[in-house]
Each structure stands twice: as C-alpha cells, then as structure tokens.
Amino acid sequence: MEIPKSHPRYLSLITREKLVSGFKKGLVVPEGLIAHGRGECFDYILGEKSHDFALEAEKAAVALMLLADHPVISVNGNTAALVAEEISELSKILKAPLEVNLFHWSRERAEAIAKELEKFGAVVYCKGDAELEGIEHSRRIVDSRGILKADVVLVPLEDGDRCEILRRHGKKVIAIDINPLSRTSRMADVSIVDNIIRAIPNMIKFAKELKKENLEEVIRNYDNRKILMKAVLAIRDNLTKIAGELNVG
Ligand code: PTJ
C-alpha cells in the first residue's frame, strides 16, 4: 500500500507495512503481527521516543557486548522484517554473529530469515544442531557455534521463558522489549525498553562512539532495576500528563 509521507502516522504505518511484507515473504508468522500490535500500544503510551532509560540501557548493552568473548544476536521473524539491514550492521560492528532463533520454528522459515540477513553481509548461524536444556518449545533449537556457547546474548522481541533459561546457563541476557512489564524485561540483565526500530540505530551509534577504556565503567554504573522502574514511571507520568491536558477547562 502507498502511504503518503504527509500522513501524521507515517512512520507507524510504514513499520506495519514492513511486517506485512515480511509476512507475505514467509519471514513473519501471523502471531508476529499480533505481537507487533502489543508493542505499538506500549510505544504509543511511552510517547514513541527513546527515553533516557532506554539510551542508558542501549549504551550498557553495547558495552557488555564489546567486552564479551562470544556475543551473539538472536533474530526472530519480526526482527528480520523490521531491521534486517540495521541489525546486520550492528552485528558487524560488534563482531557478534546473528543467529536465527524462532518460537514458531520451521526449517523453511529459519532459512528464509537467514537469507534475508545474509543479503546485508552479516555472519548468520542457523544450523539448529544443538539444544538448550531446560526449554521445551522450539527456542531450545540453537546453533553450536552461536547461542550454545555465547556468553552474552541479545534477544529482541522475545516471548517469555528463554531469558530465564539463558541466564541459568550462565549467559548474560540483553532484551529489547518495549513492554517493561514483560517477563523477559523483568528477567534480563539489561532491559532495553524501546522500539526496536529506534533501539538498533541507537546501539550502532553507541558502538561507534564508545571508547574501549570506558566500557567497564559503563557496566559498573548500570542498574537494571532502576532502568525498569524509570520505564514504568514514564508510562505513569505520560498518562498523567495526557489526563491533565484533557482536564483543562
Ligand atoms: O518469529 P518467531 O516465531 O520467533 O515469533 C516471534 C514472536 C514475536 C511472535 C514471538 O516471539 C512472540 O510471541 O512474542 P511475544 O510473546 O508477543 O513478545 C514479544 C514482545 O515484544 C512483547 O512484549 C511486545 O510488546 C514486544 N514488541 C513487539 N514489537 C516490538 C516490541 N518491542 C520493541 N519493539 C517492537 N517493535
């Protein structure tokens, strides 16, 4: 569908179109469209901008990945449809391979997503030759070169319990989830409460700017509970502000 640039909701509508196009290409599952709707709702309530708490988490995430021995970026259908090019660039800068990891797994879709990412020159793992113990659903299927041996894993747009299991396996987990109340946000070591379409470009910027000697300090000063608290308070404050505006007169 042709969306005029003058439309006040242009960016939001274009983002939807990317998902629909990803769905038609077999990258995104129907459930992914529903998940996006939930994300849109939280983004709307948060004012559709990267708040300070998101920027701080994005910076800490980049520092953690730069300090890691085996950082890996997990990619699902929605992520591939929305930010294939940007996440490939981030992967190259951070020297963190991409790994296709799906909740609604099929060999065909995993390979289609890998192909989409490879177009942008990233290293993509999708052998699915190993299993993460402790998970019963398809996210247990991992690559022996990637998530299985990773020490830090970036998990955008997750759906629940894998974060906890990854941590039980001794890995540090960075989540990108615009919902600060989600199980994933609550369980992660670093919770990026931001829309992925802003989070990845912000992370690219930090990855280019951060100096090696500052990485440890960034991590030392980072407090994820505070970040999540600020995100929840931002929801409250934004709603209070809007209610106040409606109350005038
Ligand atoms: O491709 P698959 O098979 O791995 O499936 C992917 C989905 C997204 C369907 C699957 O992981 C799923 O069901 O996820 P959930 O449980 O809906 O969780 C996704 C989380 O991501 C929710 O908390 C949403 O609020 C959040 N979210 C959705 N869109 C965005 C987002 N967060 C940041 N940016 C977004 N654009």
Summarize pLDDT for 21-40 with one digit per residue, the tens.
999 999 999 999 999 999 99
176 Cβ inside 6 Å of ligand 1: yes
How far is the centre of ligand 1, averaged over its atoms, from the C-alpha of 117 (Å)? 18
Nearest CA-CA partner of 66 in 145, 143, 123, 151: 151
Q: Please tell me the predicted confidence (pLDDT) of residue 1.
A: 73
Nearest CA-CA partner of 194 in 212, 177, 208: 177
Q: What percent of the chain has pLDDT over 90?
A: 91
How high does pLDDT run on average in the chain?
96
Atom number, ligand 1, closest to the C-alpha of residue 196? 34
pLDDT at 159 over 90: no
Q: Whose CA is nearest to atom 7 of ligand 1?
A: 32
pLDDT at 50 over 90: yes
Summarize pLDDT for 2-28 with one digit per residue, the tens.
888 888 888 899 999 999 999 999 999
Atom number, ligand 1, closest to the C-alpha of residue 34? 17
100 vs 112: CA distance, rounded Å: 10
What does the radius of gyration of the chain's CA atoms come to, in whole angstroms? 18
90 vs 161: CA distance, rounded Å: 25
Q: Whose CA is nearest to atom 8 of ligand 1?
A: 32
User: Which residues neighbour 62 within 8 Å (Cβ) at sequence distance 6 or greater?
Assistant: 94, 203, 206, 207, 210
Summarize pLDDT for 162-220 with one digit per residue, the tens.
899 999 999 999 999 999 999 999 999 999 999 999 999 999 999 999 999 999 999 99
pLDDT at 249 over 80: no
Q: Whose CA is nearest to atom 25 of ligand 1?
A: 39
Q: Please tell me the predicted confidence (pLDDT) of residue 161.
A: 83
159 Cβ inside 6 Å of ligand 1: yes
Question: pTM for the complete prediction?
Answer: 0.96
Q: Whose CA is nearest to atom 30 of ligand 1?
A: 39
State the average pLDDT over residues 30-52.
97
Summarize pLDDT for 211-245 with one digit per residue, the tens.
999 999 999 999 999 999 999 999 999 999 999 99
3-class DSSP state of 143: coil
Q: Please tell me the predicted confidence (pLDDT) of residue 3.
A: 84
